[in-house]
Amino acid sequence: MKKIKMRRFLQDKRHPALDFLKYVGPGLIVAVGFIDPGNWAANLAAGSQFGYKLLWVITLSTIMLAFLQHNVAHLGIVTGKCLSENATQYLRPWLSRTILGTGVLASISTAVAEILGGTIALQMLFKLPIVIGAILTAGLVIWFLFSNSYPKIEKVIIGFVSLIGIALLLEIFIIPHINWGQAAKGMVIPFVDAKSMPIIMSALGAVVMPHNLFLHSEVIQSRQWNLKDEAVMERQLRFEFFDTIFSMFLGWVINSAIIIIAAALFFPRIVTEISQAQEMLVPLLGPVAAILFAIAFLFAGVASSVTAGMAGGSIFAGIFAEPYDAQDPHSKLGVLITIIGATLAICGLSFVTSSFNILIYSQVFLSIQLPITIFLQIYLTSSKKVMGKYKNVWFTKWLLLATGIFVTLLNIVLIVETFK
């Protein structure tokens, strides 16, 4: 990642107002994990069962996610190293390897959900069996990561996010009876009852994912060129904030759109499977809407699988105190462990349980690992030894701790509810 030439990101003195556009990208790479198949499943369940009432969950989760991602991106900018590299440098070897080992497992677990999403989309579009679809999706992801440079990957991911958004917006324009007043109310006014709690926990828990925290601290370095110039550093920190906010906003729009579509079309008929939602679209809006839905879901699955592979490669390379580089043996091995491990898990589990259950089990492991990553991040970004004068101020540290504790408690409850 750090071998990329950065000259194209130098300040444009002719058009200073357009400088921000040169920094847009790392946040969108991370936003893909915010609109992955797990989020689609949670959002479809929320809209189909409770209409517009749970849109506030997307608003709250986006705020939490933006706060954590902004903080971990600062770590990458200030130190010039990703979360994994910093853990290797500043923690005892046994502790860093244990933490990063669970991080690699979390990336594999994430990739299970992401590759499964691409597999389900191929099944919806071409009736391919789960095993064939998983192998094709994994092969495409590995080829894409190993044959393209980071700048090209970034452009393609931005294109995928754009196409997902366009497909969902087209779906919304097709729907004739959206209650925008109720939708606006649902975005800001919390609604909670006993029946909605499992979905609220699933939706919130599916947003903040450990691999994204590792990934953002890595890809943000594609915009670095001078760590010694304080003015450059301050400028980078400022632009990173706008990139993160802009990207999280797009994620909020896409996730909200999925709930709005489900609320307008399916409520109060309960949707628990992605393919079920697609099948229900045909008699309501026609085959074109169903195809648009499947295409958007395919882009979400493939794009998020790519970022899961990058995250796995970054974490694994960090164990050896190295940055992510798709041509480096350690990064390459980390990608292969992540993608092939996830594919084998899908192929094996598909013979004994449903794709929906595979998705749930993958999220459970993420719930177990997530607090480890969050508190690692807080420890490093609050350390003067690591961050110097850019360490967290006291109120930022306490807000991060409060967020980390809240997410931890939420995920504990989610695990308990899953195994009841």
Instruction: Report domain extents, the chain.
Output: 43-418
Question: Which pLDDT band, with edges at 50, 70 and 90, does 20 fall under?
Answer: low
Question: Which pLDDT band, with edges at 50, 70 and 90, does 10 fall under?
Answer: very low
What's CA 230's distance to the chain center, in Å?
Answer: 31
Residues in the chain: 420
Q: Peptide bond preceding 268: is omega within 30 degrees of 0, i.e. cis? A: yes
In sequence order, the 6+-apart residues with CB closer than 8 A to the CB of 302 are 118, 137, 140, 141, 160
| Residue 13 exposure: Cα atoms within 13 Å on the Cβ side | 0
In sequence order, the 6+-apart residues with CB closer than 8 A to the CB of 106 are 209, 210, 211, 365, 366, 369, 370, 373
Residue 9 neighbours by CB distance under 10 Å:
18
Which tokens sit at 405? 């504790």
Choose the CATH number for 43-418 among 3.40.640.10, 3.20.20.70, 1.20.1740.10, 1.10.540.10. Answer: 1.20.1740.10
Position 344 scores a pLDDT of 95
Position 177 scores a pLDDT of 84
Question: Which pLDDT band, with edges at 50, 70 and 90, does 6 fall under?
Answer: very low
User: What percentage of the chain's residues is helix, strand, coil (to nearest 5)?
Assistant: 80, 0, 20
CA–CA gap between residue 8 and residue 255 (Å, rounded): 33
Res 296 pLDDT > 70: yes
Model pTM score: 0.87
Which tokens sit at 221? 């370095």
Q: Is 74:233 a contact under the CB 8 Å cutoff?
A: no
- Give the DSSP H/E element, type plus range, for residue 221: none
Handedness of CA 346, 349, 350, 356 (dihedral sign): negative
CB crowding 43-77: b at 16 or more within 10 Å, else e = bbbbbbbbbbbbbbbbeebbebbbbbbbbbbbbbb
Position 21 scores a pLDDT of 59
Handedness of CA 190, 193, 199, 204 (dihedral sign): positive
Res 188 pLDDT > 80: yes
In sequence order, the 6+-apart residues with CB closer than 8 A to the CB of 395 are none
